[in-house]
Copies of this chain bind each other. A is one copy, B any other.
């Protein structure tokens, strides 16, 4: 039977977009003793890696166990290895209750992931999993607030040089939805005209002969993201921004 490596774990910060807010997937963590609840809080989805397992495969395994889906966008963005990261009393209790040594050094290699839909079935080792708006996440377990914070910065930084916003949208989307994603991630309002001028240059943003259905307002035109065209255009990008 495959052994877990005691020192190295992977944590996945999974982002989703519901049309209004950027959300993050968090798992319930409740410690009970003799039927009494000691404490309850939230954590990111994570797991130790197997002794013979690559990091990327561990992250993909976690995502697959959670969603039943493969090939989800995953990006490694940092390692969290503070000697203090598991030192909070709640965390020490949790580790002890799970047969772990609370003084052992465990580092976490963190990935962020982008999921387009909320309709996937979410399950994580029998515990409750829910979407929470990133702006109203309370105190998380371990150093997961720090990991989430760095994930947001990594997401923001990545969006500046690669069109990853599409990974959060449904297959067909409107330009207003695309602008909303950029505004939410970059944390600022963008001028509509400038935005549309900029994205007009995206050769991989393809307008469809189709409009929105079932909306109260005037239906807007739908677009898709053409991954093949994007992959080809990537090799031409020797540009840099100031």
User: A residues within 8 Å of B by Cβ?
Assistant: 5, 7-8, 49, 51-55, 76, 78-79, 81-83, 105, 107, 109, 157, 159-161, 163, 182, 186-188, 190, 198-199, 201-202, 238-242
Copies of this protein in the complex: 2
Q: Which residues of B contact A202 (CB under 8 A)?
A: 242
Partner of A160, one of B5, B53, B240: B240
In the complex the two chains form, is A198's CB within 8 Å of B105's CB? no
* Assembled-state Cα–Cα distance A76/B186 (Å): 22
* Assembled-state Cα–Cα distance A23/B109 (Å): 29
Kindly provide the distance from the CB of A218 to the nearest chain B CB, expressed in whole angstroms.
Answer: 27
* Assembled-state Cα–Cα distance A242/B201 (Å): 8
Kindly provide the distance from the CB of A198 to the nearest chain B CB, expressed in whole angstroms.
Answer: 6
A selection of 25 A-B contacts at a CB cut-off of 8 Å is A5-B7, A8-B105, A8-B107, A49-B81, A51-B83, A52-B83, A53-B83, A54-B82, A55-B81, A76-B78, A76-B79, A157-B161, A159-B240, A160-B239, A160-B240, A160-B241, A161-B161, A161-B241, A163-B242, A182-B240, A186-B238, A186-B240, A190-B238, A198-B242, A199-B242
